[in-house]
Amino acid sequence: MPQAFFSHSTKDKKIVLQAADYLKNSLVKTWVDQSQLPVGSSMAEMIASGIRRSKYFFAFVSQNYLDSDWCLDELRQVYSLFLKNQVRVIPVLLVPRDQLDLSKLSTERRDFLEAILRDTKYVEFDTHDPQKSVKAVADSLWQYEDVRIEPVRVLTIGGVELQEIKFALQKKELPSDFLQHWDVDMNDFIADSATDPKPVRFGLPVAVAGISINWLITYLTIPFKNKRTVFVYNHFTQDYVCVFALKDDQVVGKVLKLN
């Protein structure tokens, strides 16, 4: 999936991590902080690379953000990419807009931030309802994508515990060259051990849910072949139908009734 860069003040990290976790569980790559840097790497260079490789730049704007030289430097780096339409900037206001003091910013930074807030639909984060707010952050990204994926969740269907990967098409039809440009790699999100923190947990069957053309269903399920049982959820019949199974698993063709 497209990478999202989370520009924020460390003082606001708790809120930012909630949004990052929601998107990671929706199979979106996220760049959050220096903890993701390889040992011995240059922080400035890696952050600049992270910004360049990201399709979305979330600016979690608070007074802490405006008082941080580091955050403002990230804003400066993304500015030229924004002008070239190489990155989509999405502001997330952690405080009401009228409570932000922009007077200490340079003219260039102030003009850029004011233009973004004026011309871009920003997200207003309600700290009293973080669950609704993190979904709003995700919605602001998915509106620009052809395929949306909901956070992976664990269900019990027909006595079988499984993980649901649910997707929806944003348009009635996908472009014929869709897979040539869709940079999703399911392997980036599939856990290889019980201690692996990736969102698609180790040891549980997977159910791919969504109405779509067969080649997209196939594309999403192939990475699981010979690794674990995979079910495809059919919205019309309300069944889970097994399409792949482990080599020594004898459940090929089994149907799990939802009701």
Bigger pLDDT: 231 or 58? 58
The tally of domains found in the chain comes to 2
Question: How many angstroms separate the Cα of 17 from the Cα of each of 158, 187, 189, 248?
Answer: 34, 22, 18, 40
Confidence of residue 193 (pLDDT cuts 50, 70, 90): very high
Say whether both 156 and 252 belong to one domain: yes
For the stretch 142-188, pLDDT in tens is: 999 999 999 999 988 878 888 999 998 887 788 888 888 887 888 88
Say whether both 31 and 136 belong to one domain: yes
Say whether both 68 and 177 belong to one domain: no
Say whether both 86 and 132 belong to one domain: yes
Bigger pLDDT: 210 or 126? 126
Say whether both 92 and 183 belong to one domain: no
How far is the C-alpha of 117 from the C-alpha of 244, rounded, in Å? 48
Say whether both 168 and 185 belong to one domain: yes
Say whether both 26 and 111 belong to one domain: yes
Say whether both 12 and 37 belong to one domain: yes
pLDDT on residue 175: 83
Overall average pLDDT of the 196-203 stretch: 92
Write down the pTM of the prediction.
0.86
Bigger pLDDT: 226 or 220? 220
Say whether both 133 and 180 belong to one domain: no
pLDDT on residue 40: 47
**Residue 192 CB neighbours (<10 A):** 10
pLDDT on residue 250: 57
